[in-house]
Amino acid sequence: MYKFKLSIFFLTSILTSATLLLALPSRTKASDATFEMASKTEEDYRCFAASLQMQDRKYTILINCQNLLYPVDNEIYTYVLWAKPKDASDSIKLGTLDFGKKTFRAAKPISSLFVTTETNKNVKTPSGKVVIQGNAQPVTFLQKGEVPTPEEEKTGEEKEVAPVTEKQPTTREKLATALKRAGLAAAIALTALVGLIFIVTRSRG
């Protein structure tokens, strides 16, 4: 009886694994992005940032800001960088900008970055004025599709660049992927069934 229960558990585990395999997406798309951040004031603040998903599934944010003024005024000495997650949860404090070039880490994909001026660098939530802001832009160069090639320059004519179009999988490719997964799942299930028959037969013998 114990061997029979063990064989049932073994079969259930394999079938569950096969089901999860079929449910997996065919391609994982990382939320890599760049940010061109513009001033929200009369000052000429400018920042460029890039967010890259690393192997630990977290995000590294590199930022370079220009024309930061110190002090901002008589009582404000700190620029703080914040991130708005894509899931619309509360803003995340990344840290102070100091002289403008820094690296930060975040656990979630980001939809936008913004900078506030704060009297206290230890604030937990943004309370100061938003002075710089920018939204995430996808890194189209790394996406699957056709990459435009520069045309030969012609004297007196404006060079045109073909737009980047992302290639979508064809019906044949989708069908082939589905058949591969179905075949793998069937092979796993058949192996489990043969193992179950073998175990039951031995237990009866």
Domain locations along the chain: 2-27+173-204, 33-138
Whether the per-residue pLDDT at 24 is higher than 70: the answer is: no
More confident residue, 121 or 181: 121
Tokens for 16, please give them. 């569950």
Predicted TM-score (pTM) of this structure: 0.59
Average of per-residue pLDDT across 158-173: 57
Say how far apart CA 13 and CA 198 lie, in whole Å: 17
Residue 142 has a pLDDT of 78
Residue 140 has a pLDDT of 86
Burial class (CB in 10 A: 0-12, 13-18, 19+), 1: exposed
Of 2-11, 15-24, 94-103, the least confident? 15-24
Residue 73 has a pLDDT of 86
Name which of 64, 83, 84, 75 is nearest 118 in CA terms.
Answer: 75
Average of per-residue pLDDT across 166-179: 62
Q: Over the stretch 68-125, which tens digit does the pLDDT of each residue have?
A: 999 888 889 999 999 999 999 999 999 999 999 999 999 999 999 999 999 999 999 9
Residue 84 has a pLDDT of 97
β-bridge partners, 101: 64
Tokens for 132, please give them. 């710089």
DSSP state of 127: -
Whether the per-residue pLDDT at 48 is higher than 70: the answer is: yes
Say how far apart CA 6 and CA 144 lie, in whole Å: 46
Say how far apart CA 36 and CA 66 lie, in whole Å: 12
Residue 143 has a pLDDT of 74
Of 23-27, 153-157, 161-165, 184-188, the least confident? 23-27
